[in-house]
Chain A
Amino acid sequence: MSASARIRDLLRRTRRPMRLVGASGQLGYGVPTPAFEAALARQPDLIGADMGSIDIGPTYLGKGEMATAPAATRRDLRKLLHGARRLDVPLVIGSAGSAGAAPHLDATLALVREIARSDGLHFRLGVLRSDIPRPLLAQAVRDGRVHGIDDMPALTEQDVRDAAHIVGQMGMGPFRRALAEGVDVIIAGRACDTAIFAALPTMLDFPTGLAVHMAKIIECASLCCVPGGRDSILATLDDEGFELESMNPERRATPTSVAAHSLYEQADPFTVYEPEGRLDLAGAQYRAVDDRRTRVSGARWEMSGDPCVKIEGASRIGERAVLLAGAADPRFISGHRDILAAVSEVVRELVCEDQPQDYTLRFRVYGVDGVRMAAPAQEHAPGEVFVMGECIAPSAERAAEVVRTCKQYLLHHGYPGRLSTAGNLAFPFTPPEVSLGPAYRFSVYHLLHVADPDALFPLELETV
Chain B
Amino acid sequence: MLLADVAQVIRSKNAGPRRLTLDVMFATDADYQRVAQSPALAREQIAALYRVPPEHVTVIPYPVGRAIKVVLARPIMAGDPGDFDVYGAQQHAPLLTVEI
Contact = CB atoms under 8 A, between A and B. Distances in A.
A259 B18 contact: no
Contact of B18 (A55, A150, A440): A150
Contacts of B65: 256, 259-260, 262-263, 269
Q: DSSP class of A's interface residues: helix, strand, loop or mixed?
A: loop
A251 to B, nearest CB: 16
Nearest to B64: A259
Contacts, number: 118
Interface in B6-26: 9, 13-21, 23, 25
Interface string A369-409: 01111101000000000000010100000000000000000
A370 B83 CA distance: 10
B79 interface: yes
A264 B15 CA distance: 8
Contact of B84 (A259, A266, A286, A364): A364
Interface string B59-93: 01010111101010111011111101111001101
A262 B80 CA distance: 27
B86 to A, nearest CB: 5
B91 A267 contact: no
B81 A362 contact: yes
Given A260-B65, A374-B49, A440-B79, A149 B84 contact: no
A373 B50 contact: yes
Given A260-B66, A269-B62, A317 B16 contact: no
A55 B78 contact: yes
A286 B64 CA distance: 9
A195 B94 CA distance: 36
B86 A268 contact: no
Interface of B: 9, 13-21, 23, 25, 49-52, 58, 60, 62, 64-67, 69, 71, 73-75, 77-82, 84-87, 90-91, 93-94
15 contacts: A54-B17, A56-B87, A57-B79, A58-B78, A151-B18, A264-B23, A265-B15, A286-B64, A371-B90, A373-B20, A373-B74, A373-B91, A374-B51, A374-B94, A442-B17
9 closest residue pairs by CB, A with B: A57-B79, A260-B65, A150-B18, A259-B65, A267-B15, A374-B51, A58-B79, A57-B86, A259-B64
